[in-house]
């Protein structure tokens, strides 16, 4: 190495600095352009999720470089605080289920579903969204939007999930202790399909973290970016976000930066291959 450096008349220190030199500016500009395109398509993506998308597209890049370029181009996500409206009434006095989800090790789809209700602000009023998610794949398997917080809202979301997935008996359904989930009709529908009920500990929202995480994503990436004139407009926009974007396109860090539908497909293919070898 010393002879080579002498032959080209550079010091060894200069040679080694060259090995650590930053990429060519042209390559950096291409990467910055692609980062900006992803940030424009997914305004709420942070630098780690954008790194995941870049890697999927074939760019050999790490999250530290992406963070540096996003800071340079002022693309880091700024999030705002919003008002809070309570949707859970757990003072109903109805019997509640024990927390089965806390002890459950989830290893496959349709093993644990999580359910929750949140509010959506329209131009002149609030409406309410009930969702059911598969905890393993993070996929929304059922949802319903209406002007009422009555139990029928949660029941509609559950019926849609059951029709879509047709889960085998033994599935665990986890929710908070809200009256919508503790009522007789909801429990009867769970029992009819051989589903075991599970509920969070009182005053502990972390027990239902999967559903809370989805709601946070929905609010920041869809609801807070728009103003819905009425229920029909909200249903159309939120439905498109859930079915086409969240379930089929949005990358999830917990899924190896894959969307839920792709993750589920990979799991089914792996299980089929395992059965074929058996």
State residue 246's pLDDT score. Answer: 96
- CB-neighbour burial class of residue 193 (10 A; exposed 0-12, middle 13-18, buried 19+): middle
Confidence grade of residue 206 (pLDDT, cut at 50, 70, 90): low
State residue 72's pLDDT score. Answer: 77
User: Do the Cβ atoms of 248 and 259 come closer than 8 Å?
Assistant: yes
DSSP H/E element including 197: strand 196-199
Phi, psi for residue 142 in degrees, rounded to 5: -165, 145
Q: Where are the domains of the chain?
A: 2-72, 101-271
State residue 203's pLDDT score. Answer: 60
Q: Is 81 helix (H, G, I), strand (E, B) or coil?
A: coil
- What DSSP line would sit under 201-217, residue for residue? PTT-GGGGHHHHHHHHH
State residue 5's pLDDT score. Answer: 52
With a cut of 70, say whether residue 1 has pLDDT above it. Answer: no
User: Do the Cβ atoms of 53 and 251 come closer than 8 Å?
Assistant: yes
State residue 86's pLDDT score. Answer: 56
Task: Return the higher-pLDDT residue of 169 and 272.
Answer: 169
Nearest to 263 by CA among 246, 278, 240: 246
Lowest mean pLDDT among 88-97, 112-121, 267-276: 88-97
With a cut of 80, say whether residue 24 has pLDDT above it. Answer: no
State residue 126's pLDDT score. Answer: 87
Q: Tens of pLDDT along 36-83?
A: 788 767 777 888 888 888 888 888 888 888 888 888 776 765 454 454
State residue 81's pLDDT score. Answer: 47
**Could you say which of 3.30.420.10, 3.40.50.300, 3.10.20.90, 3.10.20.600 is the CATH number of the domain covering 101-271?**
3.30.420.10
| Cα 77 to Cα 73, 197, 218, distances in angstroms | 12, 38, 15
Q: Can you tell me the mean pLDDT for 150-154?
A: 93
Q: Answer positive or negative: Cα dihedral of 59, 64, 70, 73.
A: negative
Please enumerate in sequence order all residues whose Cβ is within 8 A of that of 243, keeping only pairs 6 or more positions apart, or say none.
140
With a cut of 60, say whether residue 85 has pLDDT above it. Answer: no
């Amino acid at each position: 190495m010393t002879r080579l450096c002498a032959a080209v008349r550079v010091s060894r220190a200069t040679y080694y600095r060259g090995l650590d030199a930053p990429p060519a500016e042209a390559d950096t500009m291409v990467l910055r352009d692609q980062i900006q395109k992803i940030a424009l398509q997914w305004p709420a993506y942070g630098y780690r999720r954008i790194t995941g998308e870049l890697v999927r597209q074939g760019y050999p890049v790490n999250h530290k470089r992406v963070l540096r370029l996003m800071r340079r181009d002022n693309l880091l996500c700024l999030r705002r605080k919003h008002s809070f409206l309570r949707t859970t009434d757990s003072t109903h006095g109805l019997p509640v289920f024990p927390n089965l989800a806390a002890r459950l090790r989830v290893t496959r789809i349709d093993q644990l579903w999580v359910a929750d209700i949140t509010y959506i602000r329209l131009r002149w009023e609030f409406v309410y969204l009930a969702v059911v998610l598969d905890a393993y794949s993070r996929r929304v398997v059922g949802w319903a939007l209406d002007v009422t917080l009555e139990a029928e809202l949660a029941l509609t979301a559950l019926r849609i999930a059951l029709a879509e997935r047709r889960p085998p008996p033994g599935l665990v359904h986890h929710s908070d202790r809200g009256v919508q989930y503790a009522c007789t009709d909801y429990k009867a529908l769970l029992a009819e399909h051989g589903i075991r009920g599970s509920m969070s500990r009182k005053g502990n929202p972390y027990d239902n973290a999967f559903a809370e995480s989805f709601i946070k994503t929905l609010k920041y990436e869809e609801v807070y970016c728009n103003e819905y004139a009425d229920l029909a407009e909200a249903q159309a926009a939120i439905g498109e976000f859930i079915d086409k974007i969240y379930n089929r396109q949005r990358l999830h860090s917990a899924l190896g930066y894959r969307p839920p539908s792709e993750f589920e497909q990979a799991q089914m293919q792996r299980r089929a291959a395992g059965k074929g070898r058996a």
